Amino acid sequence: MIIADQLPVLPIITPLALAPFTLLMPNGRAAHLWAMAVTGLSFLFCAMLLAQVAEVGVISYQLGDWAPPLGIEYRVDLANALVMLLISGVAALVAPFSYESIRTEIDDRQLPMFYTAFQICMLGLLGVVVTGDAFNVFVFLEISSLSTYALVALGGRLDRRALTASYNYLVMGTLGATFFVIGLGLIYQATGTLNMADIRAQLEGSPSNSMVEASFAFIVVGMGLKAAAFPMHLWMPNAYTYAPSAVSAFIAAASTKAAVYVLIRFTFTVFGTDFEFIQAMMTYILTTVALAGMFFGSLVAVFQSSVKRMLAYSSVGQIGYMLLGLSFGTEAGVQASLIHLFNHGLMKAALFMSVACVMLRLGVHDCAGFHGLTKRMPFTAAAFIFAGLSLIGVPLTVGFVSKWYLLQAAFEVGRAWAGFLIVASSLIAVVYVGRVVELILLRAPPEEGPLSADVNGEPVREAPLSMLIPMWLLVAANVYFGLRTDVTAGLAGRAASALVGGGQ
């Protein structure tokens, strides 16, 4: 079973070896089909890897047969296997979805370059999650970030503000990477190793010192910038708003989730919660940042006229939920964070895809484009409503599962007040999602003006099947995993048990 033995590295090797060939494709359609094949293969390997890890436990893969800690190790457990499944799964759906959308937003000659950058971005995010070497996390972060800056900038053909958004993202992302690599340098100086498991072994039982504390502080700030945690989120709204619609769908579902995963991994696997300074950070700093983000992001989202910008600020709030679960420092809290990390990727990808469908036909992502959408694009309208209900946390959707486990974790740790704040911030989501749903269901379509017809001056029609099918697969996943809670909750529970217990 050669494939089974090489599974940890195959999701990385596949796009690394095949993505450059995308540049040689004769046209955009060929590049699109090639990207579909590559992302589909990566998803297949990630699904097989998750199944294998669920059955046999932690897998350690040594690159070049150099044993860790001297060699680079890919160490796969349920936590990173679940996140890898999310990243590759969203990429495998965005790839077929993107073609009709992206070729109306960028120059046809840029399509091979777009799909190359898209595959490299997926490669970088998967590498961040799978590696057991701390410095490799930095390398893969930079690979994914550089490709993401280029993908966001491609939106400049329709709106020049995409170039400014990409530049701001580059500056903030570079600051985050700088903080992170300084933290790595300090921890290397303190322990003499960069292997995550070996760092934990070196720190275990040793007294805290200022170098270790400073290292953790730099890493938390660096990942906070990458994850767009409040108040380090300033790059996110413009990046999500002005990037090509398919790019927004992918990075909203995958990019920040990888950063949150790294924060969870370093907190529990690399450093551990035995140190008093980490416990203090989670209790006083992370809790405050999480709660502030939950309310700030949700409240600002209420007043946005652009649906993409509304969803971007919503993501700031949703990242607050993930950080709140992490701040509890318990197995239940980490389980809730992992569940919401996975579920939020599903719902946000579906929401941004529905906005992309509206953008394709009407050329706008403002609320005005959603007036009477049920009469003009019924399947797109229904997808937005279902995914929006999931974002709110309505029962039978993944959003409800996330909130339920987060509430349980809050009450278990004795923070009933946090549970009430979770419910309160969820009610704000009812307002901003309800605004758009009201436009979709109750407003009449415009009878005159630029939005009375599509971008070609013809009657508005539904998005093509190549966009509807991937979008509705994500909507179906929102409902399926909302009903089959044992799948994600069970895997996340086992992953959290290993993380909090000191495993990797």
Calculate the average pLDDT of the chain.
Answer: 88
Label residue 21 by pLDDT band (50, 70, 90): very high
Contact between 80 and 494 under an 8 Å Cβ cutoff? The reply is no
Q: pLDDT tens for residues 214-249?
A: 888 899 999 999 888 888 888 889 999 999 989 999
Amino acid sitting at position 134:
A
Q: pLDDT tens for residues 170-190?
A: 999 999 999 999 999 999 888
3-class SS letters over 435-503: HHHHHHHHCCCCCCCHHHCCCCCCCCCCCCHHHHHHHHHHHHHHHHHHHCHHHHHHHHHHHHHHHHCCC
Q: pLDDT tens for residues 59-68?
A: 887 877 777 7
CA distance 466 to 112: 19
Question: Which sign, positive or negative, has the C-alpha torsion 153, 35, 21, 257?
Answer: positive
Phi and psi of 501, rounded to 5°?
-80, 0
CA quadruple 37, 42, 48, 51: dihedral, nearest 10: -130
Q: pLDDT tens for residues 113-132?
A: 999 999 999 999 999 999 88
Q: What is the pLDDT of residue 2?
A: 67
Average pLDDT over every residue of 253-259:
90
Q: What is the pLDDT of residue 362?
A: 86
Q: What is the pLDDT of residue 61?
A: 78
Tell me how far apart the terminal alpha carbons of the chain are, to the nearest angstrom.
Answer: 25
Average pLDDT over every residue of 334-361:
91
Label residue 210 by pLDDT band (50, 70, 90): confident
pLDDT exceeds 60 at position 1: no
Q: What is the pLDDT of residue 474?
A: 93
Q: What is the DSSP string of 32-71?
A: HHHHHHHHHHHHHHHHHHHHHHHHH--EEEEGGG--TTTS
Phi and psi of 443, rounded to 5°?
-90, 150
Cα–Cα distances in angstroms (integers) from residue 416 to residues 40, 322, 413, 425, in the given order: 43, 17, 8, 15
% of the chain exceeding 90 in pLDDT: 39
Higher pLDDT among residues 366 and 3, named by residue: 366
Half-sphere exposure of 159 (CA within 13 A, CB side): 19
Q: What is the pLDDT of residue 502?
A: 53
Q: What is the DSSP string of 321-342?
A: HHHHHHHT-SHHHHHHHHHHHH
Residue 319 tokens, joined: 């990242």
- Residue 27 DSSP code: S
Label residue 152 by pLDDT band (50, 70, 90): very high
Which alpha helices (DSSP H) does 304-455 contain, by range? 307-327, 331-362, 373-376, 378-392, 398-412, 416-442
Whether a cis peptide bond, with omega within 30° of 0, leads into 231 is yes
Average pLDDT over every residue of 148-170:
89
Higher pLDDT among residues 132 and 449, named by residue: 132
Query: From the CB of residue 274, how many other CB atoms can be counted at a distance below 10 Å?
Result: 13
Residue 483 tokens, joined: 């009903």
User: How many whole angstroms from its chain centre is CA 41?
Assistant: 20
Q: What contacts 18, CB < 8 A, 6 or more positions away? A: 34, 37, 38, 119
Q: pLDDT tens for residues 382-417?
A: 999 999 999 898 888 998 998 999 999 999 888 888
Higher pLDDT among residues 299 and 156, named by residue: 299
Q: What is the pLDDT of residue 236?
A: 87
Q: What is the pLDDT of residue 270?
A: 85
Q: pLDDT tens for residues 32-74?
A: 999 999 999 999 999 999 988 888 888 887 877 777 777 788 8
Contact between 483 and 390 under an 8 Å Cβ cutoff? The reply is no
Q: What contacts 19, CB < 8 A, 6 or more positions away? A: 38, 116, 119, 120, 123
Q: Which of 203-207, 312-316, 324-328, 395-399 shows the lowest mean pLDDT across its residues?
A: 203-207
User: How many whole angstroms from its chain centre is CA 364?
Assistant: 24
Contact between 374 and 386 under an 8 Å Cβ cutoff? The reply is no
What is the pTM (predicted TM-score) of this model?
0.92
Q: What is the pLDDT of residue 504?
A: 46
Q: What is the pLDDT of residue 458?
A: 79
